[in-house]
Amino acid sequence: MKTDFHLDDATVVAYAAGSLSNCLSVVAASHIAMCDHCRARVRRAEAVGAALLETGERQQLQPGALSSVFERIDGSDWVQPKSDRKAFRDPDPSLPLPVSRLLGQKLDDVPWKTAAPGVGIHVIEKNPDGSSLYMLKVRPGHKLPDHGHAGQEMTLILRGAYRDQIGRFARGDVADLDEDIEHQPVIEEGEDCICLIATEAPARFKGLVPRLLQPIVGI
């Protein structure tokens, strides 16, 4: 799939090193599954990391270090699928595998909670540190509130498209944004826009009404 917007270089390095947060890693992995370019970038970053390990100074492992690594491999601190093995038997072909494993259902069957007129939300994970992973479904022609970010925000387009101050984001594109970016996505006509979003902290909305609704919506 051809995509126009990709992961930031720092995100690629963090993902390859395994230091990206769980929520952000899900979105990164989903984009990588859809993007040959970023898949190749991750392989190069992993190769560089392996070379550095080979040439670096050997150090003694701390007690329990290997157990911690194996727990991460087993997925004990990963975002766990919400359902049983059904997701593996009947994945949604329209979704990248990391998303399909989490949802355990077809995209058209996702239960949406109304967040605002024309906007549905499906929360996958919400953590005490303020980070979250969720999906948004927004009607065509709808304009989302103008907002900034208190940390990294990563948005992957799964269906439809939107435009903002940065450009046009369509299926497979990822908006990898930091706290310096403010934008107001406008959904294109034709079909609902469905996005997978991970944030390190709640968004900073400019308008009074979005700020009042934020504690209720939870993003």
Q: What is the DSSP letter of 143?
A: B
Q: What confidence tier does 46 reach under pLDDT thresholds 50, 70, 90?
A: very high
What is the side-by-side order of every strand in the sheet holding 186-187? 168-170, 161-163, 186-187
Alpha carbons 108 and 160: distance in angstroms, whole number = 13
Percent of residues, the chain, with pLDDT higher than 70: 74
- Specify whether the CB–CB gap between 145 and 2 falls below 8 A: no
Go through the chain and tell me how many residues it has: 219
pLDDT at position 192 is 97
CB 27 within 8 A of CB 79: no
Per-residue HEC secondary structure of 171-196 comes to CCCEEEECCCCCECCEECCCCCEEEE
- Give the torsion through C-alpha atoms of 94, 31, 85, 88, to 10 deg: 50
CATH class of 9-90+96-100: mainly alpha
Please, what is the Cα angle at 189 between 160 and 215, to 5 degrees? 70
Q: Which residue has the higher pLDDT, 168 or 62?
A: 168
CATH of domain 106-217: 2.60.120.10
Q: How far apart are CA 42 and CA 28, in angstroms?
A: 10
Asked if residues 129 and 22 have their Cβ atoms less than 8 Å apart, the reply is no
Q: Name which of 169, 183, 181, 177 is nearest 200 in CA terms.
A: 177
pLDDT digits (tens, 9 = 90+) for 126-138: 998 888 999 999 9
| pLDDT value at residue 214 | 44
Question: Using only C-alpha atoms, what is the Rg of the chain?
Answer: 18
Strand partners, 168: 163
Q: Where are the domains of the chain?
A: 9-90+96-100, 106-217
Query: In this predicted structure, what is the pLDDT of residue 133?
Result: 95
pLDDT in tens, 141-183: 999 878 776 789 999 999 999 999 899 999 999 999 887 778 8
pLDDT at residue 26 above 70? yes
